[in-house]
């Protein structure tokens, strides 16, 4: 074949005015082939866009034999002339002159035949599902959202701060951590008390995968002012729900001199920015997901962007739930940790808007949250979303060394000296929050299950690929 600069399918569509009548060079995977004795049509996709480029093979120039291996899933290289399309559904197509086959995909074995695979089936072949329209759309949107996160914070003057994945601390105190060790589990070194001697472990102490970068993030914020983290976090809780993963990505901004109100303003602005970014830059992918999975997707996204979130103290929320007359599966009373059904009632039925719930009882929240004057509640804020429930969790932090130290002692936390130094030296009011990245992707794509918005999901009893 002649040497011509290869164009992606997205570029070909974008520049079609200039390219019509010219020779083009395209490469990709065959989605479908159909046609008759005179002409064969191939839908070519290279991942650059959800839209397929139609390649037309005139059978006076290509033999059936040459096209035999051009089947769903095979990879090909085509040169030909870009022409205005006769058929509906696409504006241009390629009239093929030359064909090179890179890799065949035996139709008897290739698992992704034309269409109609359930999401459950695709989860079993997660190594191939990025090749489907659905996962192509989801993964492009995921990318756009990740880019939007960095752009939002960079443009605001926040610094991207890298916190460790291996740590010895437990930020959330949930006690659901994966241990990191190089000890031989079949032959553990034990002390005289019969307990494992971690001095002999790799780090000379017990270590685990992080559940949150917040504590280290606070060290960043009390030096650089405003920082954010964006990385994987790990939770070993046995939650088999459509909203939990064992490995998920979290974005955690942390800001010196921010009070809880500033924190809420930032959270609301940030989420709206990300959703707007996707609406602007992922229109084709969102339209595809809307058509196939969720007819109300765009209107729901626009609704969230265009409306102010409700801000409501926990105590008020409990009162609304108690007075609703609704039969909940889990009981409602002051002090209870809200279940997903309670959160969704407030958001989907009562306010019909995202809700930022604040001032939770201190007992159900993490040790680092700032105590209110009532001595019972803390300056926490959870952002609750339709269909998702909690999408953000955050708070103003306790900046008083005495109050924080009292809480640390009450809860029996150890090894926190390095963290307490933020309060010992130049302590300032500060706040932050954590956004679960997959929950955001779930919301923006309209998918139902969090396992379908990350390429290789990790959940209990599943660690393939
Ligand atoms: O509410 P969480 O546990 O808060 C923290 O970790 C704080 N340190 C954040 C901070 O203030 N810097 O988690 C934050 C968010 C949740 O709101 C949720 O969106 C997501 O992380 N999340 C999960 N996402 C997927 N799977 C899981 N198992 C998740 N657990 C939490
Ligand atoms: Mg939370």
Kindly report the three-state secondary structure assignment for every residue of the chain.
CCCCCECCHHHHHHCHHHHCCCEEEEEEEEEEEEECCCEEEEEEECCCCCCCEEEEEECCCCCHHHHCCCCCCCEEEEEEEEEECCCCCCCEEEEEEEEEEEECCCCCCCCCCCCCCCHHHHHHCCCCHHHCHHHHHHHHHHHHHHHHHHHHHHHCCCEECCCCCEECCCCCCCCCCCEECCCCCCCCCECCCCCECHHHCCCCCCEEECCCCHHHHHHHHHHHCEEEEEEEEECCCCCCCCCCCCEEEEEEEEEECCCHHHHHHHHHHHHHHHHHHHHHHCHHHHHHHHHHCCCCHHHHHHHHHHCCCEEEEHHHHHHHHHHCCCCCCCCCCCCCCCCHHHHHHHHHHHHCCCEEEEEEEHHHCCCCECECCCCCEEEEEEEEECCCEEEEEEEEECCCHHHHHHHHHHCCCCCCHHHHHHHHCCCCCEEEEEEEHHHHHHHHHCCCCHHHCCCCCCECCECCC
Q: Determine the distance separating the centroid of ligand 1 and the alpha carbon of 310, expressed in angstroms.
A: 20
Q: What is the pLDDT of residues 407-430, one digit of tens each?
A: 999 999 988 999 999 999 999 999
Q: Which pLDDT does position 90 carry in this prediction?
A: 67
Over residues 308-336, mean pLDDT: 97
Q: Determine the distance separating the centroid of ligand 1 and the alpha carbon of 351, expressed in angstroms.
A: 23
pLDDT tops 90 at residue 89: no
Report the atom number in ligand 1 closest to the C-alpha of 382: 17
Backbone angles phi, psi at 361, to 5 degrees: -60, 140
**Closest ligand to residue 170's CA:** 1
Nearest C-alpha to atom 26 of ligand 1 is from which residue? 244
Q: What is the pLDDT of residues 129-168, one digit of tens each?
A: 999 999 999 999 999 999 999 999 999 999 999 999 999 9
- pLDDT category, 88, cuts 50, 70, 90? low
Over residues 205-225, mean pLDDT: 97
* Neighbour count for residue 306 (Cβ, 10 Å): 9
pLDDT tops 90 at residue 175: no
Contact between 39 and 77 under an 8 Å Cβ cutoff? The reply is no
Over residues 227-244, mean pLDDT: 94
b/e sequence 401-431, b meaning 16+ C-beta within 10 Å? eeebeebbeeeeeeeeeebeebbeeebebbb
Report the atom number in ligand 1 closest to the C-alpha of 254: 12
Q: Which two tokens stand for residue 423?
A: 């309060």
Half-sphere exposure (Cβ direction) of 176: Cα atoms closer than 13 Å: 13
Report the atom number in ligand 1 closest to the C-alpha of 171: 8
Q: Which two tokens stand for residue 108?
A: 């008897």
Q: Determine the distance separating the centroid of ligand 2 and the alpha carbon of 172, expressed in angstroms.
A: 9
pLDDT tops 90 at residue 368: yes
pLDDT tops 70 at residue 96: yes
pTM above 0.75, yes or no: yes
Cα separation of 96 and 70, whole Å? 13
Report the atom number in ligand 1 closest to the C-alpha of 214: 12
Nearest C-alpha to atom 17 of ligand 1 is from which residue? 392
Q: Determine the distance separating the centroid of ligand 1 and the alpha carbon of 373, expressed in angstroms.
A: 26
Q: Which pLDDT does position 218 carry in this prediction?
A: 98
Cα separation of 138 and 163, whole Å? 27
Question: What separation in angstroms does the CA of 71 have from each of 26, 40, 98, 114?
Answer: 17, 12, 17, 10
Over residues 281-286, mean pLDDT: 98
Q: Which pLDDT does position 163 carry in this prediction?
A: 98
Q: Determine the distance separating the centroid of ligand 1 and the alpha carbon of 393, expressed in angstroms.
A: 6
Q: What is the pLDDT of residues 37-49, one digit of tens each?
A: 999 999 999 999 9
Q: What is the pLDDT of residues 240-281, one digit of tens each?
A: 899 999 999 999 999 999 999 999 999 999 999 999 999 999
Q: Which pLDDT does position 257 carry in this prediction?
A: 98
Q: Pairing relation of β-strands 75-84 and 92-103?
A: antiparallel
* Dihedral sign computed on CA atoms, order 416, 422, 428, 431: negative
Q: Which pLDDT does position 352 carry in this prediction?
A: 94
Q: Determine the distance separating the centroid of ligand 1 and the alpha carbon of 119, expressed in angstroms.
A: 25
Contact between 343 and 390 under an 8 Å Cβ cutoff? The reply is yes
Cα separation of 400 and 408, whole Å? 12
Q: Determine the distance separating the centroid of ligand 2 and the alpha carbon of 383, expressed in angstroms.
A: 9
Q: Which pLDDT does position 172 carry in this prediction?
A: 75
Nearest C-alpha to atom 2 of ligand 1 is from which residue? 393
Ligand 1 pocket, residues with Cβ under 6 angstroms: 171-172, 212, 214, 235, 244-245, 248, 250, 252, 390-394, 432-434, 436, 438-439
Report the atom number in ligand 1 closest to the C-alpha of 235: 28
Ligand 1 mutation pick, 149, 211, 229, 250, max ligand atoms within 8 A of CB: 250
Q: Determine the distance separating the centroid of ligand 2 and the alpha carbon of 353, expressed in angstroms.
A: 19
Q: Which pLDDT does position 422 carry in this prediction?
A: 97
Mean pLDDT, the chain, whole residue set: 95
Q: Which pLDDT does position 114 carry in this prediction?
A: 67
Over residues 337-364, mean pLDDT: 96
Over residues 391-401, mean pLDDT: 98
Report the atom number in ligand 1 closest to the C-alpha of 388: 19
Q: Which pLDDT does position 174 carry in this prediction?
A: 63
Q: Determine the distance separating the centroid of ligand 1 and the alpha carbon of 250, expressed in angstroms.
A: 7
Report the share of the chain in percent with pLDDT over 90.
93
Contact between 90 and 50 under an 8 Å Cβ cutoff? The reply is no
Ligand 1 mutation pick, 230, 436, 437, 440, max ligand atoms within 8 A of CB: 436
pLDDT tops 80 at residue 116: no
Nearest C-alpha to atom 9 of ligand 1 is from which residue? 434
Nearest C-alpha to atom 24 of ligand 1 is from which residue? 436
């Amino acid at each position: 074949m002649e040497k011509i600069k290869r164009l992606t399918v997205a570029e070909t569509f974008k520049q079609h005015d200039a390219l019509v009548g010219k020779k083009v060079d395209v490469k990709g995977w065959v989605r479908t082939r159909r046609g008759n004795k005179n002409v064969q049509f191939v839908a070519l996709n290279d991942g650059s866009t959800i839209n397929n480029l139609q390649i037309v093979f005139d059978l006076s120039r290509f033999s059936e034999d040459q096209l035999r291996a051009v089947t769903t899933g095979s990879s090909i290289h085509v040169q030909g002339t870009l022409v205005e399309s006769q058929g509906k559904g696409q504006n241009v197509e390629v009239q093929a002159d030359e064909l090179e086959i890179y890799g065949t995909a035996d139709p008897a074995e290739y698992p992704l035949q034309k269409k109609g695979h359930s999401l459950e089936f695709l989860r079993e072949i997660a190594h191939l599902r990025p090749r489907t329209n659905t996962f192509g759309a989801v993964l492009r949107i995921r990318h756009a959202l990740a880019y939007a996160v960095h752009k939002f914070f960079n443009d605001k003057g926040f610094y991207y701060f890298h916190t460790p994945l291996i740590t010895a601390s437990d930020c959330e105190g949930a006690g659901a951590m994966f241990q990191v060790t190089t000890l031989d589990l079949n032959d553990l070194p034990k002390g005289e008390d019969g307990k494992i001697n971690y001095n002999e472990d790799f780090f000379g102490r017990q270590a685990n995968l992080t559940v949150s970068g917040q504590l280290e993030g606070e060290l960043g914020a009390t030096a650089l002012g405003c920082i954010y983290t964006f990385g994987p976090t790990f939770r070993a809780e046995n939650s088999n729900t459509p909203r939990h993963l064992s490995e998920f990505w979290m974005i955690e901004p942390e800001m010196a001199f921010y009070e809880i109100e500033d924190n809420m303003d930032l959270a609301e602005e940030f989420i709206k920015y990300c959703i707007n970014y996707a609406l602007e830059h992922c229109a084709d992918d969102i339209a595809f997901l809307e058509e196939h999975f969720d007819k109300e997707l765009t209107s729901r996204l626009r609704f969230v962007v265009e409306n102010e979130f409700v801000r409501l103290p926990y105590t008020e929320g409990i009162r609304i739930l108690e007075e609703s007359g609704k039969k909940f599966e889990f009981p409602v009373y002051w002090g209870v940790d809200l279940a997903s059904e309670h959160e969704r009632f407030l958001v989907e039925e009562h306010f019909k808007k995202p809700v930022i719930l604040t001032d939770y009882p201190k007992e159900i929240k993490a040790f680092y949250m700032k105590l209110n004057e009532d001595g019972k509640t803390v300056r926490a804020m959870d952002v609750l979303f339709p269909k998702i429930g909690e999408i953000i969790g955050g708070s103003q932090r306790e900046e008083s060394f005495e109050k924080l130290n009292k809480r640390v002692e009450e809860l029996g936390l150890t090894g926190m000296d390095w963290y307490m130094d933020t309060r010992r030296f130049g302590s300032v009011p500060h706040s932050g929050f954590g956004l679960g990245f997959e929950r955001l992707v779930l919301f923006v794509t309209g998918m139902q299950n969090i396992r379908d918005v990350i390429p290789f999901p990790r959940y209990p009893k599943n660690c393939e690929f």
